[in-house]
Amino acid sequence: MGYTPDRFIKHVNHALQRHRLLVVDRFEVRFALQKQHAEHVDRWVDFASASRIKHFVLDLSPAVRTNRQSEGHKYEFLVNLLNGQNGSPIVSLRLGLVCLKLPSDFLGFTDLKKLELHLANISLKGGSSKMDYIVNELTCSLAHVGGLLIKFSTFNTEATGFTKNQSQFTCLRHLVLKLIINGESENDISVLRLTYIVEASPQLEYFELHMDSDNSGPSTLSINNCICPVVHHHLRRVHMTGLIGLAGQLELASTLF
């Protein structure tokens, strides 16, 4: 029908006004919207939460992708808007081309049976260390995803107290990690902890790791590899960038190749 964003938004707002007092089981929006339309999309999510929706689809990806769809233009999906004060009866959830904001105290949707994420980013605010969150929590909530892109704005090598559990990304085949290493050179041994993510992905075939650092140069620290070597027979291709001689980087590479 050749809808423009403004016309589509007006159409949805009118439809929700007509159905605001009715019981609604499924809510579905599929249209190319961005962060600039957040005021309207937030209102739709509020409607879905108030209506106790069981099946929720918010796919903001266009039919044809373009290079103009930068990360900064993605709509920020605030999970708490949908979860509400009394929890959510959500059974199935599909999100497309959004940045998913997870508060540190978010415990998930109790009744959720099906989760689909398409071109979605996940942003964790506060709480446990990022490595602990990925290996011990994301492996539970996203166990069945096939592809995953994780960006660390900073990867603090000084984090301590990390413990692995037995959960895994059981279906993950393509993993891309992008991180900025932040910390003193004496603590760069923590870079080796990235191997835990690979170990938690028994079906992983393609691993891409891009590292940057706020350190000025290579480390002269000599370390003993405290990570037990594991042969990753499932890996078919590994692509690493950003090797500048920080302690732990070469040891990490040796565990993967």
Report d(CA 20, CA 50) in Å as an integer.
9
Is 211 within 8 Å of 181 (Cβ atoms)? yes
pLDDT at 45 over 70: yes
pLDDT at 166 over 80: no
In the prediction, which pLDDT does 169 show? 85
Label each residue of 164-190 as H, E or C.
CCCCCCCCCCEEEEEEEEECCHHHHHH
At 52-105, the pLDDT tens digits run 899 999 999 887 655 455 567 889 998 888 876 666 788 899 999 998 877 767
pLDDT at 220 over 60: no
Q: Where are the domains of the chain?
A: 1-127, 129-257
In the prediction, which pLDDT does 71 show? 64
pLDDT at 203 over 80: yes
Q: Place 221 in a pLDDT band, splitting at 50, 70 and 90.
A: very low
Is 225 within 8 Å of 198 (Cβ atoms)? no
In the prediction, which pLDDT does 5 show? 93
pTM over 0.85: no
In the prediction, which pLDDT does 34 show? 92
User: Mean of the per-residue pLDDT values for the chain?
Assistant: 77
**Cα end-to-end span (Å), the chain:** 53
pLDDT at 8 over 60: yes
pLDDT at 255 over 60: yes
Characterize 158-175 residue by residue with b for buried, 16 or more Cβ atoms within 10 angstroms of its Cβ, and e for exposed: ebeeeeeeeebbeebbbb
Rounded to 5°, angle at Cα 233 from 232 and 234 = 90
